[in-house]
Amino acid sequence: MTHRPSDREEDPMWSGIHNRWGDSVFSESSESKRPESKHTCQTGEDTVGFGPWNWRTKQPIPWGWIVSADRLGTSARHLRAGLLVRVFYDAYGCSVAHPARIGLDDSVHVGVCKHNLNGLLKDLVEAGLIRADICHGKKARVSPVQPVLPRTHRRWKTPRNLWWPTLSHVATRLPASALSGYLFLAMNIVRNENRAMIAPHLAGWTRSRRDYQRGLAALLDSGLVINEGTAGFVLPTLFGPCDKVSIVPGWVKD
């Protein structure tokens, strides 16, 4: 059984996490760095449920937004930076008037080089995917841009409440094609379940079938996706932790 360090026993945030998830979150890999907030401009920091282990996407992510970000460069760098903007914006209860603040060190969440982060954000601004106020030596103030979708395209989006540690794990530990593949599976989940049904012709997928198969293979090997047969897949950590799946987000050192 994993020992729970005594200095965490009185910490309300870690007590809340432990009561909810048990000793599995205090694995050897997660002991090396305790996730903590360095942001003070938004709401929510003082609640027991706050912290990267608890973050989720509050709003659906349009598939068109994901595809547009993915097409801006290689290795899904822009998509990863864009997801960082979206989750910080949601996690801190931000608005257009009060955008999220992202520092260079926050790039560790998605495995992007901190020296490239501001450049990636500027590319996303030029593509109309985010708003950003970027000043040298200061944290960037950012907010996502929600595209106006035709009625026929409104179903092409991920569900709400995607669990951030899983997205961070995929972005930092798996091949680039696995991230877009995971989001594609999330978009195709059965209502109110964590089970996805994929059409044989991969409706909505814009990359090659080979890229889909490569990303899916990495997801299956990691245990983040389970093949249910007949084009069905289970995503056990889509909305929260699963004691059978190991998650090592980007902010946790190996």
- List pLDDT tens digits, range 122-136: 999 999 999 999 998
Please indicate, yes or no, whether residues 130 and 156 belong to a single structural domain of this protein. no
Burial class (CB in 10 A: 0-12, 13-18, 19+), 197: middle
Please report the pLDDT score of residue 10 as a whole number: 52
Please report the pLDDT score of residue 149 as a whole number: 62
Torsion of the alpha carbons at 240, 206, 128 and 80, rounded to the nearest 10? 40
Domain count, the chain: 2
Please report the pLDDT score of residue 222 as a whole number: 96
Please report the pLDDT score of residue 18 as a whole number: 59
Please report the pLDDT score of residue 157 as a whole number: 93
Please indicate, yes or no, whether residues 135 and 191 belong to a single structural domain of this protein. no
Q: In whole angstroms, what is the distance from residue 251 CA to residue 240 CA?
A: 17
Return the CATH number at 68.
Answer: 1.10.10
Task: Note whether 21 and 79 are within 8 A (CB).
Answer: no
Angle at 60 between CA 179 and CA 206, to 5 degrees: 45
pLDDT along the chain (254 residues), means of 10: 43 56 45 37 41 93 94 95 97 92 96 96 96 93 82 78 97 96 96 90 92 97 93 94 94 84
Please indicate, yes or no, whether residues 196 and 223 belong to a single structural domain of this protein. yes
Please indicate, yes or no, whether residues 123 and 174 belong to a single structural domain of this protein. no
Tens digits of residue pLDDT in 160-182: 999 999 999 999 999 999 999 99
Please report the pLDDT score of residue 154 as a whole number: 62
Please indicate, yes or no, whether residues 156 and 143 belong to a single structural domain of this protein. no
Q: In whole angstroms, what is the distance from residue 60 CA to residue 189 CA?
A: 13
Place of tokens 């008037």: 97
Please report the pLDDT score of residue 34 as a whole number: 35
Please indicate, yes or no, whether residues 69 and 143 belong to a single structural domain of this protein. yes
Please report the pLDDT score of residue 172 as a whole number: 97
Please report the pLDDT score of residue 213 as a whole number: 96
Domain that holds residue 173: 152-234
Burial class (CB in 10 A: 0-12, 13-18, 19+), 152: exposed
Please identify, among 115, 150, 185, the residue that sits at the C-terminal boundary of a domain: 150
